[in-house]
Structure 1
Amino acid sequence: MKQYIIALLISFISITSAKAQFFTNTLIYTTGELTLGNYIGLDLNLNYIIDDSYSLKLGYTGTIRTPKSQPDNYSSGVTGVFALGFDNPYDQIENYQMGIGKIYNLNPSGTIRANLSVGLGYTIVTTPQNWQENNDRFFTENYTWHYNKQNTVSLVINPKIEFPLTSFYGLTLSPLVILNKHSSYFGIGIGQMIGLLR
């Protein structure tokens, strides 16, 4: 524990003692987006831009949808109504990604730019399987199931249109594609950006 505290202090001192010139050539900010497509979910990223030209992105995408394998007569029961669907089975995609990109300013003032990013992701695809009907249940689900998890590598294509409205806050609009051999995601995200934006 002591080593972690020392490492954290050294990192903090290094960052605070960096020259101001470092920040004139780099931008660091976070983005958070609601994504809608063949799944619904969230896309969260830490972005690093160098010389207003190139970007590096680390992120996480989490999505869910009604299971493709779900029986037509599935019911969450009385307790499912009170849980607002949070305990229902879902197809899920979780993706941890790293991407690189190219920045294009779309207007002279720098308030609209394209961040064309592509990268790789470590993806966990979770699907409910082995549906077993249980007609005796009224208060809970009328089926039981088991989750199957598959891990894979994905190609992530995520061009963004960014609107840094101020130096610290902006909006984003972005198509998002996560391609893999098990279950792919296609959709669009809308969200916000916070940090050193321009």
Structure 2
Amino acid sequence: MNKSLILIVLLIFSFNTVKAQFSKDHAIYYSDGLNIGNYVGLDFNLNYVYKEKYSVKIGYIYNTRKPKSQPDDYSSGLANALLFEATNPHDKMENYQLALGKIYSLNESRTIRVNLSIGLGYTVLNEPENWQKIESGFVAENYTWNYERQNTFSLIINPKLEFPFTTIYGLSISPMVQLNKHRSYFGIGVGQMIGVLRSRKN
């Protein structure tokens, strides 16, 4: 057995030892979800769990809805309809969040748990304003507008009922509240979790 093969075997053994020790108390996983409420949105998160008791989450949330300021007679025109209204104006609320949580396991097999998560978000609001009616045919929109951007901070309350069916994949259901001085979001989300979801049993 040459020296390089011995080195490879030692590296593999060391990696497995470190991994086993790490997963004894720690879990790291990716999660995402679809949120539905007074906005519709998506969220993407990186999660860390310590001893299946405490959690830290870093994430991004994107919410959108039909503009509250949109005139009643606004028409997107045939061109936008053919694009499934992709270029239509929307109220947009984005959050870059950091959250802390406390986890409670609800069964002995650890496949159902509650993650009580609360955090802060740096919030970016983009909303159409300055609507100006224009003469247009059947094809084009009948208004012009421009977006107003505002930055603020939000309180994000997001308790989750999590189902880590296996150690690497699970699902979640979660109500969510996002509060700031300009806008609020209330809704519920469904999502998935992928990664190291549970600590290794002793």
Return the alpha-carbon distance in structure 2 between the equivalents of residues 192 and 19 of structure 1. Answer: 23
**C-alpha deviation, 1:47, in angstroms:** 0.6
Cα shift readout 1:114-170 (whole Å, capped 9, x = no counterpart): 000101000001110000001234322100000001000110101000000111111
* Residue in 1 that maps onto 2:118: 118
User: Cα distance 1:54–1:82, how it changes in 2: closer, same or farther (>3 A)?
Assistant: same
Instruction: Call closer, same or farther: CA 1:42–1:19 in 2, change over 3 Å.
Output: closer
C-alpha distance in 2, partners of 1:17/1:26? 14
Cα deviation for residue 56 of structure 1 reads 0.2
* Structure 2 residue 162 is matched with structure 1 residue 158: no
The equivalent residue for 1:184 is 184
CA distance in 2, matches of 1:43, 1:175: 13
1:61 Cα deviation from its structure 2 partner = 0.4
SS at match of 2:135: coil
Rounded Cα–Cα distance in structure 1 between residues aligned with 2:81 and 2:138? 12
Range with greater deviation from structure 2 (75-84 or 131-140)? 131-140
Rounded Cα–Cα distance in structure 2 between residues aligned with 1:167 and 1:59:
21
CA distance in 1: counterparts of 2:167 and 2:16, whole angstroms: 20
- Offset of residue 39 of structure 1: 0.2
Q: Which residue of 1 aligns with 2:26?
A: 26
Q: In structure 1, what is the Cα distance between the partners aligned to 2:84 and 2:96?
A: 28
Partner in structure 1 of residue 133 of structure 2: 133
What is the CA distance between 1:23 and its match in structure 2?
Answer: 1.4
The equivalent of 1:99 in structure 2 is 99
Could you say what secondary structure the match of 1:22 adopts?
helix
For residues 131 and 178 of structure 1, the distance between their equivalents in structure 2, rounded to whole angstroms, comes to 27
Rounded to whole Å, the distance in 2 between the matches of 1:17 and 1:90 is 51
- Partners of 1:89 and 1:18 in 2: CA distance: 51
Describe the shift of the 1:28–1:127 C-alpha distance in structure 2 as closer, same or farther (beyond 3 A).
Answer: same
Partner of 2:147: 147
For structure 1, which runs of at least 5 residues remain unmatched after alignment?
Answer: 1-14
Q: How does 1:69-88 map to 2 (within 5 A)?
A: 69-88=69-88
Match of 1:174 in 2: 174
Unaligned 5+ segments in structure 2 are 1-14
Structure 2 distance, partners of 1:144, 1:78, is: 16
Aligned residue in 1 for 2:90: 90
What SS does structure 2 have at the residue aligned with 1:78?
Answer: helix
What is the alpha-carbon distance in structure 1 between the residues aligned to residue 153 and residue 170 of structure 2? Answer: 31
Percent same amino acid at aligned positions? 57
- TM-score computed with the length of structure 1 as normaliser: 0.90
**Compared CA separation, residues 41 and 19, structure 1 to 2 (3 A):** closer
Query: In 1, distance between residues paired with 2:22 and 2:161?
Result: 25
RMSD: 1.6
Counterpart secondary structure, 1:73: coil
The number of aligned residues is: 185
